Structure 1
Amino acid sequence: MTASDPLHPDEPHGGGVGQRLNWLRAGVLGANDGIVSVASLVVGVAGATTDNAALLIAGLAGLVGGAISMALGEYVSVSSQRDSERALIHKEREELRTMPEEELDELTQLYRQRGLTEQTARQVAVELTEHDALAAHLEVELGIDPDDLVNPWHAAISSAVAFTIGALLPLVAILLPPPSVRVPVTFVAVLIALAATGFIGAKIGGAPPLRASLRLVVGGALALAATWLIGTLLGTTGIV
């Protein structure tokens, strides 16, 4: 089957699947972090003061710092993963060059472990080796597609943009309403957004969406409540 297979249009086939999933994963993670971290920050400040300037400065500082941190973290993490994949590819290429017979036997045994008979496994190994020995070994032995390595720039940019988009929601929600209702409005907006991102993330990963959304909503509610309580206590005691 190919990526344009009309019989199974909803199934991912062909190259680029790993990179697309990595991009989506980083995006959903970045959005969640942006929502929770900036919401917790501005709600905490709102518990201590009603000054819009203080809320805006705190929210923007959290947005910019968080976006840069997310991008840097994703870039470093995915770069390390790609370096490891490249090292494994180089090692496998050298093994195929220096001991091709041993590698053919290894490939045969890998297919035997998947349930093929000795004769069939040998035939498959021989034919795949003749077609593209490196690709065959990388796929079966290491689960790597040399044409679909993860891209650290995709992950970094996706995380930074998603974090920024997620962070804008609580920032707008805390600044626009009147002071008397800004915290409840922010709570509701943030929890709805977390439920939505949890649902989307679960759908991408094939997990139960209700459970994923519930985890995020409960965790987000606890974070908001904790920071609001701290801000309220500090504001009441006159520390801030």
Structure 2
Amino acid sequence: MAGESEQSLLDQHKEKHFTAGEIVRDIIIGVSDGLTVPFALAAGLSGANASSSIILTAGIAEVAAGAISMGLGGYLAAKSEADHYMRELKREEEEIISVPDTEAAEIAEILSEYGIQPHEYSPVVNALRKNRQAWLDFMMKFELGLEKPDPRRALQSAFTIAIAYILGGFVPLVPYMLIPIARQAVVASVVVTILALLIFGFAKGYFTGNRPFRSAFETALIGAVASAAAFGLAKAVQG
């Protein structure tokens, strides 16, 4: 009856936690780089008096290369995380078998850090020792602070970052598709991209729990500084 009552309370209380943190992180990585890098490249080439067609060609090539590179980086990072988890899982499993008393003492130490007294955590320790899988899961989470990664995480991360990079990267290039004169296109590109950076920064701040308006300003500032630096360097080299 107690278990049913607790489940009923849990069903009634649905906590509204945001659980898509990894996906949002990948989108932020992809879009932020996608908006900034091609933007700076286009601005730099505009400063060198390149034509819109050349800027567009170089920009598309950069977006393609950047998406592949960023996606591969996301894949390798997620794969490395999964490999690390499996190595630690195997090591922890071996320790539970070879030195169970030591591992049990570690459970007691972990629980004591939460203010649980010996007479309170002893039944918990004994219960975990009878269930090896639960014991292993407990040690992975509370001793090592590792969560079991989703086996699809590496591919999802690569795909999400790459698509986000492409979507972000085409924003500063659209004006060059529509305006043949580069000096006019760069102005439109700056306006469109700064606006996109402001919107993206606001959304990033909103979803990550930071101050949205400050996030919007900081994101737009970083993009503006990067493009201004590229434009200025191109002008300086040309001069």
Note if contact 2:74-2:158 (Cα within 8 Å) is conserved in structure 1.
yes
Q: Once the two structures are superposed, what CA deviation does each residue of 1:204-239 show, in whole Å capped at 9, x if it has no partner?
A: 33233233222211111111111122333445x4xx
User: 1:5: Cα distance to partner?
Assistant: 4.8
AA aligned to 1:191 is I
Q: Structure 1 residues 84, 21: CA separation in 2 closer, same or farther (over 3 Å shift)? A: same
Shift in alpha-carbon separation, 1:6–1:36, aligned structure 2, 3 A: farther
After superposition, give the CA deviation of every residue in 1:175-225 in whole Å (9 maximum; x if it has no partner): 324635322221121122222222333333323323322221111111111
1:169 corresponds to which residue? 171
- Which stretch shifts more, 55-64 or 44-53? 44-53
What SS does the corresponding residue of 1:10 show, helix, strand or coil?
coil
- Partner residue, 2:3: none
Structure 2 match to 1:104: 104
User: CA RMSD, aligned part only?
Assistant: 2.4
For residues 141 and 191 of structure 1, do their structure 2 counterparts lie closer, same or farther at Cα, with a shift above 3 Å needed? Answer: same
- Aligned-partner Cα distance in 2 for 1:231–1:199: 31
Deviation at 1:149, TM superposition (A): 6.4
Give yes or no for contact 1:40–1:228 (8 Å, CA) kept in 2.
Answer: yes
> Aligned residue pairs: how many?
229
User: Greater shift after overlay, 70-79 or 33-42?
Assistant: 70-79
Q: Which runs of 5+ in 1 are unaligned?
A: none
Letter in 1 for 2:216: S
Indicate the residue corresponding to 1:218 in structure 2: 221
1:195 aligned residue: 198
The structure-2 alpha-carbon separation of the partners of 1:147 and 1:221, relative to structure 1 and needing over 3 Å to count, comes to closer
CA contact (8 A) 1:22 1:150 kept: no
C-alpha change, 1:104 and 1:196, in structure 2 (3 Å) is same
Determine which of 221, 224, 235 is the counterpart of 1:232: 235
Q: Residue 124 of structure 1: CA displacement?
A: 2.5
Alpha-carbon distance in structure 1 between the residues aligned to 2:196 and 2:120: 52
Listed as ranges, the matches of 1:1-240 within 5 Å are: 5=11, 7-12=13-18, 17=19, 20-49=20-49, 51-131=51-131, 132-146=134-148, 148=150, 151-177=153-179, 179=181, 180-235=183-238, 237=239
Aligned residue type for 2:34:
G
TM-score by length of 1: 0.85
The percent of aligned pairs where both chains have the same amino acid is: 26
Pair 209,121 (structure 1): closer, same or farther in 2 beyond 3 Å: farther
Aligned-partner SS, 1:170 = coil
**Deviation by residue 1:73-119 (Cα, 9 ceiling, x = unmatched):** 11222222221111111111111111222211110110001111111
TM-score by length of 2: 0.85
Q: Does the 8 A contact of 2:34 with 2:169 survive in 1?
A: yes
- The CA distance in 2 between the partners of 1:232 and 1:81, in whole Å, is 43
Query: Aligned partners of 1:146 and 1:223: how far apart in 2?
Result: 38
- Distance of aligned partners of 1:215 and 1:150 in 2 relative to their CA distance in 1, 3 Å threshold: farther
Residue 68 to residue 124, structure 1, CA distance change in 2 (3 Å): same
In 2: Cα distance, 1:191 partner to 1:6 partner: 44
